[in-house]
Amino acid sequence: MVKYKWTLMVTMLMLALTAAFLLQGMNRFNANASGDMSDPFLDPYALSLAHKHAGPAMESAAEKGVQMELSWPRGEPAAGMPSLLSLTVMNGKGAGINDFEMSNEKLLHLIVVSEDLQQFQHVHPVYNGAGMFELPITFPAGGRYKLYADFLPKGMNELTRMGEVEVRGEAAAPTVLKASEVLAAHAGGMKVELAFPERLAPQTQLSMTYTFTDEKTGEPIEDLELYLGAVGHVVAIDETMGQIIHIHPLNWASSGPQAVFGVSFPASGLYKIWGQFQRDGQTLIVPFVIQV
């Protein structure tokens, strides 16, 4: 009986891992089309929500008709100045969609990234009804930015739509994107290290592990707080901004010292990845650049 239970447990774990990787693989978002940016946690509850995370190829006709419109009610944005962003989600007939379901504790997630991948924001506009979301946002420098909105209309799969904006003002000094020499950083009193046990090859199921230790004592950190319902989140964008992947942890309820993610990169090239974690009520963003 013990052997049977152990075999059953291992089998269920392998099935869950396989499902997580397969569903994450559908998360690839082509910047020229609509897409999905999330994948399930390694947890029965999360796996039960897998039907909400379809990629663009699996969108229904109604889902394909969903569009996003961006506007700036108080004028086009300028660097260093708060600007009001209005974002409206509409159905195929051009009418605002009224009802949304919560996804990772929010009705809409907005990822804002500068064209040079140096600036990153993950923000959550306020819903005003009739499909309209608003928030004040400040762009640190002039130039072009891409905005990726992730939302879940009631009765549909989770969808992602993209927009662009040209911000007036002085652009940041040009930089050359290159792979990080060391995958280690300091944030919130912690040393954060990223490791890939496998060779970084495209279209391959990979694990990526963040390890957290006290930057002074080297002791393991075990007091991470849940950020948007999980121990952490990761956003990965390739150097052309043609691919974006929003990754959630497999050990979603962990408080440290590790956060483990499953990912499959769609193509070779440089990717900038932003790990997002929370400790002592503070959201910490840890960026690295990797070569796949």
Q: Tell me what pLDDT residue 55 has.
A: 57
Q: Are 192 and 210 in contact (CB under 8 A)?
A: yes
Radius of gyration of the chain (CA): 19
Angle, CA of 58, 110 and 88, to the nearest 5° = 80
Q: How many angstroms separate the CA atoms of 139 and 18, rounded?
A: 40
Domains (range + CATH), the chain = 59-167 (2.60.40.1930), 184-291 (2.60.40.1930)
Binning the chain into helix, strand and coil, the percentages to the nearest 5 are 15, 45, 45
Token look-up 């889902």 returns 63
Instruction: Tell me the average pLDDT across 109-121.
Output: 95
Q: Which amino acid is at 193?
A: E
Instruction: Tell me the average pLDDT across 32-38.
Output: 34
With bands split at pLDDT 50, 70 and 90, how would you rate the model's confidence at 197?
Answer: confident
Give yes or no for residue 192 having a pLDDT over 70. Answer: yes
Q: How many angstroms separate the CA atoms of 163 and 87, rounded?
A: 10
Instruction: Tell me the average pLDDT across 111-127.
Output: 96
Q: Are 138 and 83 in contact (CB under 8 A)?
A: yes
First to last CA, the chain: 45
Please state the φ and ψ torsions of residue 30, each to the nearest 5 degrees.
-85, 130
Dump pLDDT digits (tens) for 63-76: 999 999 999 999 99
Q: Tell me what pLDDT residue 141 has.
A: 96
Which two tokens mark 9? Answer: 């447990």
Q: Which amino acid is at 259?
A: A
Q: What is the dihedral of CA 102, 162, 66, 135, to 10 degrees?
A: 50
Per-residue buried b or exposed e for 32-45, using 16+ beta carbons within 10 Å of the residue's own CB: eebbbbbbbbbbee
Q: How many angstroms separate the CA atoms of 26 and 44, rounded?
A: 19
Our measurement of the distance from residue 6's CA atom to the centroid of its chain's CA atoms, rounded to an integer in Å, reads 34
Q: Tell me what pLDDT residue 77 has.
A: 96
Q: Tell me what pLDDT residue 220 has.
A: 98
Instruction: Tell me the average pLDDT across 188-212.
Output: 93
Query: How much is the mean pLDDT over the chain?
Result: 83
